[in-house]
Structure 1
Amino acid sequence: MQTYFHCGRFKLELERPLVMGIVNVTPDSFSDGGRYLQLEQALQKIEQLISDGADIIDIGGESTRPGAASVSVDVELSRVMPVIEAARAFNVPLSIDTCKTAVMQAALQAGVDMVNDIAGLEAPGAIAALAQSQAGICLMHKQGNPQTMQAAPHYQDVVSEVSSYLVDRISAVIGAGVAKERILADLGFGFGKNLEHNRALFRSISILIEELQTPMLVGVSRKRMLGELTGREVGDRTTASVTAALLAVQAGAQIVRVHDVRETLDALKVWQGLK
C-alpha cells in the first residue's frame, strides 16, 4: 500500500493518519457558514487549525450541503483566492475544495497544493488542468447534485457502484499522466446517500481501500448521518464526529477531513498510544 501522498510542495508520509482541517469561506455551509467570510477571520481560523495540529487545510468557497445553491466562478474566486494567496505564507499543504475547472486553474496558479473535488474531476478540462500540475487530487463519489441529491438517493448495490465509479475516475486520471502517489479516494458520505447507504459504505472502508489501491480520505464530520444516529443538532456533534473519524482510521482511512482538529488528534494520539 502507498506509503506517502504527493501533495504539491509537500510529500506527506502516511505512516500515521493525517487530519485535514476545514475552512468554509461561505455564507451558507451547514456547520460554519458565514463565520469566515472575511479574510482576517479565515486566516485566524487557519492559524488555529495549524496550532491544533492540522496536516492539510481545505478551503472551500461554495457550499455543497444538501439543498445548497450553486455560485458563479467569479463569486467562488472572490471568496477563496485572497485566502489561498495569504495562507501560502503558513507553509502548510493547502487544498481547494471545488468542482469548477476555472477555480482549480486559478488556485493552482496561486500555488495551492491539492484539489478536493466532489465531482471526481468530471468537469471539462479538469483532468488536464491537474495533469499539468504536481498537486494532490481527491476524487469523490456523489449521486446527483447538492440541490437535489438527498431527495431520493437509490442504488442497487451502493458499495459496488461507488467502487466502480472511483475505479473509473482513478483510471482516467492516471491515464492522463498523473502519478498514483498524487491521488486520494473519497466515498462521499452524505452526497446522494441515505443513512443505510452511508452505513454500508462505512462498514466497507477496509474492503474498498483494497479494491481501489489508493489512500482514502473520509469526511463525515458533523454530517446529517451522525445527527440521525445520535439525535444531536449540527453544533453538538463533536463527540460523534471524533468517534466516526477514529473508526474510519481503524478501518484503514489515511486522512480524515474534520471541523474539530484538536479533538480528533487527541483521540488519534490516545488510540495510537494504547492500541
Structure 2
Amino acid sequence: MSWLTNYVKPKLQKVLNPKETPDNLWHKCKSCGQMIFQKEFVANQYVCAHCDHHDRVPPKDRFDNLFDHGTYDLIDLPAVKQDPLKFRDTQRYTERLKNARKKTGDEDAIKVAVGKIGGEDVVVAVQNFFFMGGSMGMAVGEGIIAGARHALKIGAPYVMMTASGGARMQEGILSLMQMPRTTVAIQMLRDAGLPYIVVLTDPTTGGVSASYAMLGDVHIAEPGCMIGFAGKRVIEQTIREKLPEKFQTAEYLQEHGMVDAVVHRHELGEKLGTMIRLLMGGRHKKKAAE
C-alpha cells in the first residue's frame, strides 16, 4: 500500500492534474472587476486597460516610468531610531516594521531619487502605500527633508509624490512633529526660488494632506484618486449631512480650485518635464554657460 501511495499516486496526479496557476499571474481591477494579466497590468503602469482605473504603484515602478530612460540614482536617507515609544497594540511596532520590510523590500515608506525628467535635473520623493499604508513617521519626515536638502544642493526642483493614510500612530507626537519639519524644508526651497511640485496619488489623507501635500507651487493629481483629511463617513456623521458623490476625488478638488491639473499616469512624465522647464526658466542652461 505504501508503494502505491508514495510512488504511483503522485505520478498519476502529476500526469492527470493540471499545473497550479501562480497566485500573482492575474490582477483583478478594484474598480470594474476585470481580470488582467499581471505582466500587462504592470507594463501599463498599473492602469486598468478596461476602465482606466489608476491603481497604487510601488516606488521603483514610479521611478522607472518617470525618469528619462528609467535612469536615476537613489539618495541615501538618514537612519532613525526604531520604535522610540516602545509601542504595542495587537502587535509590537518592531514586528510590524519587520513584516513591512519583508513584504516591500524597502526600509520605510519613502524613497528619494535624483535624475532627469524631460532633460531637466530633478529630485523626486515617492511615498510607498504598501509600507504600512504610506504612514508618515520619523523616517518619512527625514526622507522628505533629505530630498529637499539635495534639491537645494544641486539647484533642482523637488517633486513629491504622495500616497498615505496620514501620520503613523505608533510614533505618536514624533510623527506629528514631521508636519512642521517638512514645512520648514519646503520653505527653504521657496526661499531659494526652486519649484516644489506635488503629485497627489491615491490616497492622500490625514496629516500628510494637512502639511507637505498641500504646500506645492503646483498640485497635480492622478484621475480618481482620493484626497482629503478625515474620511467621508466621519465627516457625514459629524455634520449630519450627505456629501456629494465625488467628494474628495481629484476631479472634485480641481473643480473647487484645490488641484491645478488632473493628469493621466501615461502623460505624467511629459507634463512634469514641460512644467519644470517653464518654472526653471532655463536656469540650468544659463548656469552651464556661465
**TM-score scaled by length of structure 1:** 0.33
**Structure ID, larger Rg:** 2
**TM-score scaled by length of structure 2:** 0.32
Q: Which has the higher contact order (CA 8 A, sep 6+)?
A: 1
